[in-house]
Homo-oligomer: A and B are copies of this chain.
Amino acid sequence: MSTNPVEEFSVGMPRNYLRPCLLLLLAEGTSHGYELLDQVTALGLDRADPGSLYRCLRAMDEEALVHSFWEPSTSGPARRTYALTDEGREWLHAIAGSLAEVSRALDAYHRRYQKLVEQDEHAR
């Protein structure tokens, strides 16, 4: 066996992917950071960094894409609950569009890759 392919190299999720994820989840309903930390895993961000997530929420709050309020918990510390604003919803639609472009690019890549693989198999 040759040296480990893809040694410590990995393609990551799209740049700034966290923000669209949070906007989408908050469009589905209000939530708080610790809960969102789990929910984003369903969108491809496993073991997302808490620091980045809280910072992203805070930034969107300052940009008025979301607004936040403290909410006591029945068991555990209080939560800063976030809700999407109208402006945030506009952003969600715009960002979903540009994410679709990324998706189309990846599809183009995959089609081209598959074509290559088929040619290689045919050549054997």
Q: Chain A: residues with CB nearer than 8 A to chain B? A: 2-3, 5-6, 9-17, 19-21, 24, 27-28, 42-45, 86-87, 90-96, 98-110, 112-113, 116
Contacts and interface: CB of A to CB of B under 8 A. Distances in A.
B14 A44 contact: no
A94 B14 CA distance: 18
Interface core residue of A5, A13, A16, A107 (most chain B CB under 10 Å): A5
A110 B103 contact: yes
Given A11-B17, A43-B112, A116-B24, A99 B106 contact: yes
A87 B3 contact: yes
Nearest to A64: B3
A11 B95 contact: yes
19 contacts: A2-B86, A3-B87, A5-B90, A6-B91, A10-B16, A11-B15, A11-B20, A12-B15, A13-B14, A14-B15, A14-B102, A20-B109, A27-B116, A28-B116, A43-B105, A43-B108, A44-B102, A96-B113, A100-B110
Contacts of A93: 5
